[in-house]
Structure 1
Amino acid sequence: MKLIKTVLLAGLSILSLCSHAQVNKQIEIRSELASPIVMQNSQEKNYLKISLTGHEFDSAKRVPINLAIVIDRSGSMQGDRIVKAKEAAIFAINMLNENDTLSVVAYDNDARVIIPSTKVNNKQKLISLIKENIVAGGGTALFAGLSKGIHQVEKQLSKDNVNRIILLSDGQANIGPTSVQELSELAIIAAKKNISVSTFGIGEDYNELLMSSIASYSDGNHIFVNDSLDLENVFVREFKDVMSTVAQHVKINIYLKDGVKPVRLLGRDGIIKGNQVTVTMNQIYSNQEKYILLEVEQPQGKVGEEKTIAEIDLVYDDLLDKKTQKEKQSVKLAYTDNLEAVKKALRQDVVTEIEIQEVNENSVKALELYNKGDRKAAQKILVDNSKRLEAVADMYPEYADRVKDDMKWNKKMAADAVNESGNGKVYSKEMTEKQQNTRMGVIKK
């Protein structure tokens, strides 16, 4: 009888954690604990996962795009790079329609607006402006270029548009503000205006930390383009995201109850102030999940007791219905003296994501060691990462596919770490791109 009661309690607790958005909303929200049932008086850490998944929608009904393309035309972009950058910009024009807004900024020793913010209703004229005005030569005033890109998007800024900047660079910022901190602060300004910045680093010589930081702080994508011939394919992937945006300006507030202490966020950054945690996301895409993971110290409890440990407040702009949506959810924790009930209630999908994020943090340490010249130590971390993910796949076969690619990637990077003939610049950029993408907590459906 006691076991039946415990199992029933487990079922009720899990149902109370797995909340869903209403059918008429564009995103589904789930708030759940890795361990929704714990042993009585347990003081172990727990993990809260909040995920937002965009529903499928008719792409013909997509919302207007307000896009600025910011192109590096410094001397190092001469040759194929500037040619392919122009071709990619022209591709973007052809992907847009008369409801969309486009601006193009080019930067070298300074920044110049090639196409002021305008509706895309005369494509041939816009294409001619790009062909005639983007010629490589000069320095890299990246800060000025991004600043003007933000200003152009601001001209048509609307919560009913997808506000986006695509920033291309193949070198080091060397004119005007150049530090990671200064450029990151500019990205934060963009994010506060509900503008995402996706950064495309071309070749081996750009500053990957700077470019990935800009993308991270504004909730954009960061992509390493080793060969400029791949630029158009990169634009295709970017436009798939942009054109499938269903919600933006997302703000998640987590209010932890007395006795619950926030420890850290895994992956995405946020603000932890006392018992309140705030995380923002700029855009949510159709058929894609974005999540946050919060490690907490849980309160003790008695057998049969159930406690609300967190209240979730979510606000976002629904782009398809053109209104602000709000949702509240509660997260509960139940207590038992039955270890089997605890194991049965464990959320294997949440544990899998925890492992992915912790392995990613380890890979950051591996890259630091690699860049300091301690390649064997870097290799060991990456080998251990691969073994750890392999153990997850064995333990939770239902989620083996989720870790399969990461497992292979860690094995490859472990081997490359000690390859004396390998390209260190490429290695660092591949690692940084992967770390950034994993940190953002994205699962494509």
Structure 2
Amino acid sequence: MSSKIPYVNILQSAICIPAAEEIPIALDIKILPDKNIPPEAFFGVWLLDISGSMAGDRLDNAKESLIEQVKILPENTIFNLITFESEIHEILTNVKITNSSRSDIIKRIDKIQDRGTTSLFEALEKGVGLIREYVRNGGNLSVKKIILISDGDPTDVQVKSGDESDPNYQKYFQLAKEALEYKSSIDTVGALGEHNVYLMYEIAKQSAGKYIFAENEDELKTKMIIATEQTAKIAFSQPTMQLTGILGKIDLEDAAQYKPTVIRMPFNKVNDQLANATFRSFEAGDTYQILVKGKLYLDKSKINMEVPNKILGLEIDFGKPEMKIQQDITIKFSTDPSKFKLNQDINKKYANVFSQAEEIADCTIRGDAQATQRIQGDETKKIG
């Protein structure tokens, strides 16, 4: 984790406007983490599908990838490997990566064989349970990651592909939200085009993780390795943003990252004057840009005309007491139309980004993994 506060620049859509009780506002936040940080140890849980559909090259490449990942994991990383088919199997739990332990881990991976169906829910439940236990026992590694690899639909808690209203989806998403509560994200790797795209994408999104699509066996191997390399280079693990209404109520409507890739972010309304959002983890050297959109409901009696008014308090917490950025968002209210000023570029950008986000949502429901990756950008290549 970086000890240096990143560069942060915040632009806003409304700069000088007429006074009103309801004001739309959009913020464009740019964050540049330090690029000069070495790979760091993390707490990792790998959930590997070994059901019958993974037989052959898929499983062979996944195993080869796991072995390569073990070779490059930073010392003191805590390694957990759970395989799942009709049952789940705790292959390794809470093993610290050292020069001597790597060879033992590799031998255990070599012995993995395919079998059975796909108990994905039970595996995810186990993975989140390991994170919960680690946090409650005082684990000191800041970065905590679950990596879920699967090529099929779950057969334990079944869901209907193409029907996002199926209530069983919420059982999976609740686990994703619990992981987020423990400052852990879930990266999902959809192997080939046969996985449940909506399920895997939403698990990642709702935990502020990454959805990664592997089109073939070679990509499965390569992208798993890259995802682990990216995790080891996290500069800030799931920073949070808090918005506080100063002159009235706030309604945060949407938040999305659009660089290096496009994805909506979890956010919630705490009360009428407080809302927050969770960012994706920031990796060293990448450029991150986030759009936040909402409405302000102001008490006009508190507005001072022709001077800047503090309307919002913004705080970004990068995970340490000394790693917070606080900034007031101000707007000038005027009766003179010649002074009115809006940043139309932000509004245009918002329309484009959220149009892409809606298109991604449609693609995931249809089960179109290729289109999802094309629009959002490849998480392992960072194509924005």
TM-score (norm 1): 0.71
Q: Does structure 2 retain, via aligned residues, the 8 Å contact 1:195–1:282?
A: no
Which residues in structure 2 correspond to 1:25-40 (within 5 Å)? 25-39=4-18
Unaligned runs of 5+ in 1: 1-22, 372-424
Partner residue in 2 for 1:346: 343
Q: Distance in 1 between matches of 2:181 and 2:375?
A: 24
Partner residue in 1 for 2:326: 328
Partner residue in 1 for 2:114: 136
Which residues in structure 2 correspond to 1:153-232 (within 5 Å)? 153-154=131-132, 156-157=134-135, 158-176=139-157, 179-232=168-221
Q: SS at the partner of 1:204?
A: helix
The one of 238, 243, 247 aligned to 2:232: 243
Counterpart code for 2:309: K
Partner residue in 1 for 2:84: 107
Partner residue in 1 for 2:277: 279
Q: Does structure 2 retain, via aligned residues, the 8 Å contact 1:194–1:282?
A: no
Q: SS at the partner of 1:354?
A: helix
Q: Does structure 2 retain, via aligned residues, the 8 Å contact 1:302–1:336?
A: no
Which segment is superposed worse, 91-100 or 68-77? Answer: 91-100
Counterpart code for 2:274: Q
Q: State the 1:247 CA deviation.
A: 1.6
Q: Does structure 1 retain, via aligned residues, the 8 Å contact 2:356–2:376?
A: no
Q: SS at the partner of 2:32?
A: strand
Q: Alpha carbons of 1:77 and 1:186: their partners in 2 closer, same or farther (altered >3 Å)?
A: same
Partner residue in 2 for 1:256: 245
Q: Distance in 1 between matches of 2:209 and 2:316?
A: 20
Partner residue in 1 for 2:162: none
Give CA deviations for 1:50-73 in whole Å, capped at 9, x if unaligned: 4443222232xx331211111000
Counterpart code for 2:62: A
Q: Does structure 2 retain, via aligned residues, the 8 Å contact 1:256–1:311?
A: yes
Q: Alpha carbons of 1:290 and 1:180: their partners in 2 closer, same or farther (altered >3 Å)?
A: farther
Q: Does structure 1 retain, via aligned residues, the 8 Å contact 2:243–2:274?
A: yes
Q: Distance in 2 between matches of 1:365 and 1:109?
A: 30
Q: Distance in 2 between matches of 1:105 and 1:324?
A: 36
Q: State the 1:46 CA deviation.
A: 2.5
Matched, 1:311 2:313: yes
Q: Does structure 2 retain, via aligned residues, the 8 Å contact 1:315–1:324?
A: no
Q: State the 1:118 CA deviation.
A: 0.6
Q: Distance in 1 between matches of 2:222 and 2:56?
A: 19
Q: SS at the partner of 1:233?
A: helix
Matched, 1:76 2:76: no
Which structure shows the higher helix fraction? Answer: 1
Q: Does structure 1 retain, via aligned residues, the 8 Å contact 2:65–2:225?
A: no
Q: Identity of aligned pairs, percent?
A: 17
Counterpart code for 1:432: T
Give CA deviations for 1:232-274 in whole Å, capped at 9, x if unaligned: 3212431342122112252322111334542511432311232
Give CA deviations for 1:378-402 in whole Å, capped at 9, x if unaligned: xxxxxxxxxxxxxxxxxxxxxxxxx
Which residues in structure 2 correspond to 1:265-414 (within 5 Å)? 265-267=254-256, 268-272=265-269, 273-281=271-279, 283-288=281-286, 289-297=288-296, 299=298, 304-318=306-320, 325-336=323-334, 342=340, 346=343, 348=345, 350-351=346-347, 353-364=349-360, 367=363, 371=366
Q: Alpha carbons of 1:286 and 1:444: their partners in 2 closer, same or farther (altered >3 Å)?
A: farther
Which structure shows the higher strand fraction? Answer: 2
Give CA deviations for 1:297-339 in whole Å, capped at 9, x if unaligned: 4757676232111012333324xxxx66333221001134666
Q: Alpha carbons of 1:180 and 1:207: their partners in 2 closer, same or farther (altered >3 Å)?
A: same
Q: Higher RCO, 1 or 2 (CA under 8 Å, sep at least 6)?
A: 2
Which segment is superposed worse, 189-198 or 177-186? Answer: 177-186
Q: Does structure 2 retain, via aligned residues, the 8 Å contact 1:171–1:205?
A: yes
Give CA deviations for 1:196-219 in whole Å, capped at 9, x if unaligned: 110001122211111111111111
Q: Alpha carbons of 1:367 and 1:199: their partners in 2 closer, same or farther (altered >3 Å)?
A: closer
Counterpart code for 2:372: T
The one of 341, 362, 371 aligned to 1:431: 371
Counterpart code for 1:328: Q
Q: Distance in 1 between matches of 2:182 and 2:114?
A: 31
Q: Alpha carbons of 1:233 and 1:329: their partners in 2 closer, same or farther (altered >3 Å)?
A: same
Aligned length, in residue pairs:
356
Partner residue in 1 for 2:27: 48
Q: Distance in 2 between matches of 1:29 and 1:185?
A: 32
Which structure would you say has the larger Rg? 1
Q: Does structure 1 retain, via aligned residues, the 8 Å contact 2:5–2:323?
A: no
Counterpart code for 1:287: G
Q: Does structure 2 retain, via aligned residues, the 8 Å contact 1:266–1:358?
A: no
Q: Does structure 2 retain, via aligned residues, the 8 Å contact 1:73–1:108?
A: yes
Unaligned runs of 5+ in 2: 160-167, 257-264
Q: SS at the partner of 1:235?
A: helix
Partner residue in 2 for 1:385: none
Q: Alpha carbons of 1:254 and 1:97: their partners in 2 closer, same or farther (altered >3 Å)?
A: closer
TM-score (norm 2): 0.81
Q: Does structure 2 retain, via aligned residues, the 8 Å contact 1:69–1:103?
A: yes
